[in-house]
């Protein structure tokens, strides 16, 4: 059996979380087929997979970070990435796990047992209507076994005991919940929870997780689509809110009860996420806006989902973009967008943009004077992203950075041809940053409304051609390094405090829009250009994006002014991704607008 494992530290927990995310992802389609409770909408596997993908992305690049850093990243990412009822419940468990482990640099069996127990208790306390036969039951039994196994010195034995108890508990779920027994299945969310634990066990015992291996379906799993939902509400509704004085979770749950059921509320670090099944999502969103700044919302029609649910619970259209799209993590994970990372070269190491080096991490390196260069994704990166997306969808629409700015489009198109059968449609955004990202958001709306990939692509081109963006850089240093301006011009600009203002043209190229003195004048110039572009009669269907490199307060002030002035349907704020920050530099910022008037889903 070899030398035992006495403790978990930061690197070990990071590897465990990655293994758990991979093993849950490998069983996604099975979990979707098992999904009959609380409604048979066939998305439990997808929701758990996306929730854990958010966690995996947050911890992947942490390397040898200490345990408290890994648990903090895990908890924050689970809140932002939590999707659906099952994802929200799993996030509560992970928040409790972090709380139970605390600030210890290493955790033995007793510490892990405390974390698992706290995870269960937090999950129980978060549920407005606790139901046995779900994740709740398996988490309780897992915590009980962990408490009994605290004397184990070898964590391999500890984990094995916990997983065995969880699997036995899973098999009891049909006896506790009539809807499961009628369908002849175990609870999908509970099975996903067991897969998470089993992924960790497999990593410990085998050193890896066979991502392609999927357990056999239990008998009669397909019967789930015949199960009627009792007291069913129509929309699976979620909202993410941030603020300094958010209401307590209990108060939020109480306020949401009049709107519907299946209420789960998460709150941590200035973020609040709420999930509720309701018939009136807009009223929920309006209430949420009174608690703080609404960062993202979602309202999925569960009846339509169930009507469209085939044997494999596949979506009609999935979306892929490159990391230059600058969409916030919350939007990426909420919508299941596949991101293809551009490469960032720092010294002698190559990083996958956003996945292995986040905006905050690269920001610190910029402040330290670190230089970097960039390289486009390889065709294989797109082929992998398409293959992943096609596991859960019939077709893919890929929206990529302007072909005039990068070879990314050519590689995306080559990968689409390699897939064949016309299942992948590639759209040249003729933009970058949120100019690209906002197109993806529009495409998602159209896909939910039932548009075909071809129709979506045509509409995105129409919208693209009446949209644009403006941006300013704080100094010329990074542009000089990237070859965008000459050194003499840069020297004069620095001496005279000149700030370049630029735009992305209709051809998708970066063009000068003026030079001004000082940051305040740059702000006034960009807003004047925006006002001229939008005209005296502002568009009725308008989406706006604000990006920044190390200027969150400035970006938030700008967002508030733009919302007050233009009342857009959405205003997205996001830090600039490292591959763009490598060229734009500290203090860079931009505003993108997307006019959607003319055609609605």
DSSP per-residue letters across 57-111: HHHHTTTT--HHHHHHHHHHHHHHH--HHHHHHHHHHHHHHHHHHTT-SSB-HHH
- What does the domain layout of the chain look like in residue ranges? 10-211, 235-300, 326-462, 468-595
The verdict on domain 326-462 having CATH code 3.40.50.10170 is: yes
pLDDT score, position 47: 80
Cα gap 414→423, rounded to integer Å:
13
Contact (CB, 8 A) for 13 and 252: no
Burial 409-421 (b: 16+ CB within 10 A, else e): bebbbebbeeeee
Residue spans of the chain under pLDDT 70: 1-3, 36-42, 206-232, 303-314, 333-334, 475-498, 599-601
CATH architecture of 468-595: 2-Layer Sandwich (3.30)
- State pLDDT tens for residues 477-493: 655 454 444 444 444 45
| Location of structure tokens 């530099």 | 585
Bridge partners of 274, per DSSP, are 239, 265
Taken in order 85, 322, 570, 572, the sign of the CA dihedral is: positive
Residue range 235-300, CATH number:
3.30.70
Cα gap 584→572, rounded to integer Å:
19
Residue range 10-211, CATH number:
1.25.40.340
pLDDT score, position 428: 96
Bridge partners of 319, per DSSP, are 397
pLDDT score, position 336: 79
pLDDT score, position 496: 55
pTM over 0.85: no
Contact (CB, 8 A) for 504 and 431: yes
Contact (CB, 8 A) for 214 and 30: yes
pLDDT score, position 36: 66
Q: Which two tokens stand for residue 70?
A: 């890994």
pLDDT score, position 455: 96
Which of 224, 124, 109, 578 minimizes the C-alpha distance to 371? 578
Q: Are strands 343-346 and 349-352 parallel, antiparallel or unpaired?
A: antiparallel
């Amino acid at each position: 059996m070899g030398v035992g494992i006495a403790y978990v530290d930061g690197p070990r927990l990071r590897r465990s979380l990655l293994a758990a995310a991979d093993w849950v992802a490998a069983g996604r389609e099975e979990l979707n087929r098992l999904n009959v409770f609380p409604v048979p909408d066939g998305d439990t596997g997808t929701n758990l997979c996306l929730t854990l993908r958010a966690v995996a992305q947050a911890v992947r690049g942490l390397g040898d970070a200490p345990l408290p850093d890994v648990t903090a990243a895990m908890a924050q990412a689970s809140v932002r990435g939590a999707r659906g009822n099952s994802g929200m419940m799993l996030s509560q468990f992970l928040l409790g796990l972090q709380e139970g482990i605390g600030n210890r640099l290493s955790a033995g069996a007793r510490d892990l047992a405390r974390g698992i127990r706290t995870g269960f208790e937090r999950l129980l306390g978060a549920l407005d209507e606790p139901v046995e036969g779900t994740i709740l039951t398996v988490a309780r039994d897992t915590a009980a076994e962990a408490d009994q196994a605290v004397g184990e010195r070898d964590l391999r034995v500890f984990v094995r005991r916990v997983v065995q108890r969880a699997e036995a508990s899973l098999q009891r779920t049909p006896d506790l919940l009539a809807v499961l027994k009628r369908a002849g299945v175990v609870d999908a969310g509970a099975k996903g929870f067991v897969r998470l634990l089993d992924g960790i066990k497999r990593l410990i015992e085998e050193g890896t997780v066979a991502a392609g291996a999927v357990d056999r379906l239990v008998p009669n799993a397909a019967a789930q689509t015949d199960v009627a939902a009792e007291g069913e509400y129509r929309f699976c509704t979620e909202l993410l809110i941030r603020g300094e004085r958010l209401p307590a979770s209990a108060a939020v749950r109480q306020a949401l009860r009049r709107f519907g059921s299946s209420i789960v509320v998460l709150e941590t670090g200035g973020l609040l996420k709420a999930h509720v099944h309701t018939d009136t999502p807009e009223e929920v969103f309006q209430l949420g806006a009174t608690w703080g700044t609404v960062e993202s919302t979602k309202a999925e029609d569960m009846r339509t989902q169930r009507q469209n649910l085939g044997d494999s619970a596949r979506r009609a259209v999935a979306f892929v973009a490159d990391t230059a799209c600058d969409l916030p993590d919350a939007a990426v994970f909420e919508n299941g967008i596949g991101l293809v990372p551009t490469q960032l070269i720092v010294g002698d190491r190559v990083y996958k943009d956003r996945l292995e080096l986040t905006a905050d991490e690269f920001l610190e390196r910029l402040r330290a004077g670190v230089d970097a260069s960039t390289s486009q994704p390889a065709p294989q990166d797109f082929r992998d992203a398409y293959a992943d997306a096609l596991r859960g969808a019939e077709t893919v629409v890929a929206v990529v950075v302007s072909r005039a700015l990068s070879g990314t489009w050519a590689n995306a198109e080559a990968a689409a041809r390699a897939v064949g059968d016309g299942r992948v449609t590639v759209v040249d955004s003729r933009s970058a940053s949120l100019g690209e990202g906002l197109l993806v958001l529009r495409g998602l709306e159209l896909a939910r409304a039932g548009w075909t990939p071809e129709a979506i692509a045509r509409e995105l081109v129409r919208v693209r051609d009446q949209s644009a963006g403006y941006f300013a850089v704080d100094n010329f240093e990074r542009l000089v390094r990237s070859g965008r301006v000459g050194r003499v011009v840069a020297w004069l600009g620095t001496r005279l405090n000149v700030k370049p203002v630029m735009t992305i043209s209709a051809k998708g190229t970066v063009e000068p829009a003026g030079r001004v003195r000082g940051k305040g004048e740059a702000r006034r110039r960009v807003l004047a250009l925006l006002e001229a572009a939008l005209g005296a009669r502002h568009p009725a269907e308008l989406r706006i994006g604000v990006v920044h490199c190390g200027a969150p307060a400035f970006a938030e002030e700008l967002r508030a002014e733009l919302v007050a002035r233009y009342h857009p349907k959405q205003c997205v704020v996001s830090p600039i991704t490292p591959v763009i920050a490598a060229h734009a530099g500290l203090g860079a910022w931009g505003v993108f607008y997307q006019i959607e008037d003319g055609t609605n889903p």
